[in-house]
Amino acid sequence: MFFTHKPSVALGTLGLLAALAACQNRSGQGETATADSVAAAKEAPVDTVKLKHLAQQRDSLRADSIARKTGQLPGAILPGHRIVAFYGNIRSKGMGILGRVPKDSMMRQFDRVLKEWQAADPSLPVMPCLHSVTITAQAAAGADKKYRLMNSASTIEETRAWAKEKKAILFLDVQVGLSDLEHELPKLTEYLKDPTIHLGIDPEFAMATKKVRPGKKIGTYDAKDINYAINFLARIVSENHLPPKLLMVHRFTKGMVTNYKDIKLDPRVQVIMDMDGWGNPTLKKDSYKAYIQKEPVQYTGFKLFYIYDPKQKPHHMMTPKEVLDTTNLKPTPLYVQYQ
């Protein structure tokens, strides 16, 4: 695979030879290095962090080169599919459709929605997706005062089994509370080694810069946070010889994502900015234009709410045909999420 770049064994040999030469030159007499100096050179610590960084740079350059020639890396999901996702948590009725109704009923409803999308746009294959909130913001601080809680391993594995049963991809969604991505994402590393599992991050509940518990204010991510997530996923792709990962970022206000122009794309990670707001169709379309269309990153998403969108009559939840109407949304979303 094109991602494999192992540090050369010769690097250590070259380092040793350089050390020996330095010993000779410093003596000014060109004498042979002593046994003690050779032993010291052999015992010199290897900077594994630097070696990993160099390997990551080589992987990135190789990936960039392939992407320039082919348009994208092998196995990339976008733009060749439209992802249609059911969102929530299988242990919670309040977080979304994924856990609101019994599994069998939910799956039948999911089938109907997938067929509606395929009929609305036969030109693009529909990719089924379950989007599970896996690290969830909390009202209670918890022992470490970070206001977030990760699902149990059994819940994550059961959700993964549901996705595999449906031949669907799976997103693990992260709400960091007063923690940060650097501390939370590594908890998901083993799951993300599965080529069918991808990542979502939610600025709404990223409260480190707000200094208040989740729910009191709308949180934010800067480009540097999103770049951290991109680099984190890119490293997993390279180290495990995987097809590109998907990173979905929720957004429904301008302040939820700052310095978007500084987001650095990597062909190993496909970034989706998802318009996450609820309300009447006019408000949703305006939000998409203001925060997704006017501040483009890579691919776009659109969220539909079974309960909140049609809450005030005569408002309604938009149909696939309405979402696909190019007079409404440009570019047409390639990721559609139902909550």
Find the range with the poorest average confidence among 111-125, 148-162, 258-272, 322-336: 322-336
Find the range with the poorest average confidence among 3-12, 89-98, 329-338: 3-12
Tokens standing for residue 316: 């309604």
Are 131 and 87 in contact by the 8 Å Cβ rule? The answer is yes
Are 305 and 336 in contact by the 8 Å Cβ rule? The answer is no
CA distance linking residue 70 with residue 315, whole number of Å = 44
Segment 41-55 mean pLDDT: 58
Q: Which residue has the higher pLDDT, 45 or 189?
A: 189
Find the range with the poorest average confidence among 58-72, 107-121, 123-137: 58-72
**pLDDT score recorded for residue 108:** 98
Segment 126-151 mean pLDDT: 97
CA distance linking residue 76 with residue 15, whole number of Å = 39
pLDDT at residue 190 tops 80: yes
What are the structural domains, with CATH classification, of the chain? Answer: 10-70 (no CATH), 82-338 (3.20.20)
Q: Which of 100, 77, 171, 103 is CA-nearest to residue 133?
A: 171
**pLDDT score recorded for residue 64:** 73
pLDDT at residue 83 tops 80: yes
Alpha carbons within 13 A on the beta-carbon side of 200: 28
Segment 265-280 mean pLDDT: 95
